[in-house]
A = this chain, B = another copy of it.
Amino acid sequence: MFFASDNAGPVHPKVMTALVAANEGHALPYGADDLMTAVRSHLREVFEAPEAAVYLVATGTAANSLALATLCAPFETVFCTPVAHIHEDECNAPEFFTGGAKLTLVGDGAKMSPEVLRAAIAAEESRGVHGPQRGPVSLTNVTERGTVYTPGEIAALSAVARDFGLKVHLDGARLANALVATGASPAEMTWKAGVDALSFGGTKNGLMGVEAVIFFDPAHAWEFELRRKRGAHLFSKHRYLSAQMLAYLEDGLWLENARAANAANARLAEGLQALPGVRFSHPPEANMSFAAWPRAGHRRLHEAGAQYYLWEGQLEGDDPEEALTARMVCDWSVTDEMIDRFVALVRGEAAGEENVPG
């Protein structure tokens, strides 16, 4: 029962097969491999963006930081939410890669509204050379709280950015899950909604460690290549990144995995919502749920070896009825059995009766 993160699941077997298949003889290094040519074509097609600049890196933080560094001067500030991954979970990598830009925190949740964004940008106006200059807006979809922006919501935020002449970055570590959740096309959710640069996630959705960075305006391409190399994120044996991404795109595996993860989360959420005393903090719109239930349920899960984040509260404590909040994330590999067992433990079933591997 592993719901701690979608970055801890296995690689999809088709991806492993592709890696093995790619392992023949020598290949040109540093992105000059033939597989990368196919990846580039594929991603341009998927995004209906024949001119887009497409690159691969191995971590989501690299994708975000390098994309932002390409869009943001060191004397500027990035507009993002206070729970943005770039703010909370990258150990100052955006500040490092941009050469010292600032992050301005917009709103108080995982989604920002156009009004609040407009106010935040407007507020960075009056100090001339003294304050940071306005830089790009960075959105996350699926958000860090498991909620999803529709293409219309992204477009409304991009329109605000455009009013101030600012670029838009989308952290799409879970973009596939957002597309599946909304039914939007890749193009609708990105450049048609005003996104300039995209971190297109793969690692959390069945790959071993590959993310694409896509600039819909290829003017940024060469600078990005230099920043990627300077950041030590250009792989010599690049074909193994390409092979993963290609397998991901072929036959829609990326969407299939996301559908599986979202469905797993839906089953989990439905199971939990049916229980008395379970309260959700955010609508579980993709593959992530935040919900609270009494400590006793958490204790049963803990004894049974379930893995998830205790988001608020402590497992230790006197009151078995005190509600503690959990974060649960489903990846493509989570099984119905794991989910049902998890729900049963929350409901009150004793741990240890049967042990579900996972």
* A residues in contact (CB < 8 Å) with B: 2, 4-5, 7-11, 13, 16, 19-20, 23-30, 57-62, 65-66, 73-77, 88-93, 95-103, 105, 127, 129-133, 203-204, 208-209, 223, 225-227, 229-237, 240, 307, 333, 357-358
Contact = CB atoms under 8 A, between A and B. Distances in A.
Given A233-B59, A358-B26, A227 B90 contact: no
Contact of A236 (B26, B59, B76, B227): B59
A62 B97 CA distance: 14
Contacts of A20: 16, 20
Contact of A74 (B92, B102, B103, B358): B92
A19 B234 CA distance: 21
The DSSP consensus for interface residues of chain A is loop
Contacts of A93: 229-232
Contact of A23 (B10, B26, B357): B10
Given A24-B10, A92-B75, A231 B231 contact: yes
B61 A232 contact: yes
A91 B231 CA distance: 9
A26 B204 CA distance: 12
Nearest to A10: B23
B88 A131 contact: yes
For this chain, the copies found in one complex come to: 4
Contacts of A127: 88-89
Nearest to A131: B88
9 contacts: A26-B307, A59-B233, A59-B234, A59-B235, A61-B232, A66-B232, A74-B95, A208-B237, A231-B231
Given A226-B75, A230-B75, A232-B62, A11 B92 contact: no
Contacts of A230: 74-75, 90-93, 96, 100
B231 A232 contact: yes
A103 B100 contact: no
Going nearest first, the 10 A-B pairs with the smallest beta carbon separation are A7-B236, A2-B26, A95-B100, A62-B232, A61-B232, A99-B99, A96-B100, A75-B226, A91-B229, A91-B230
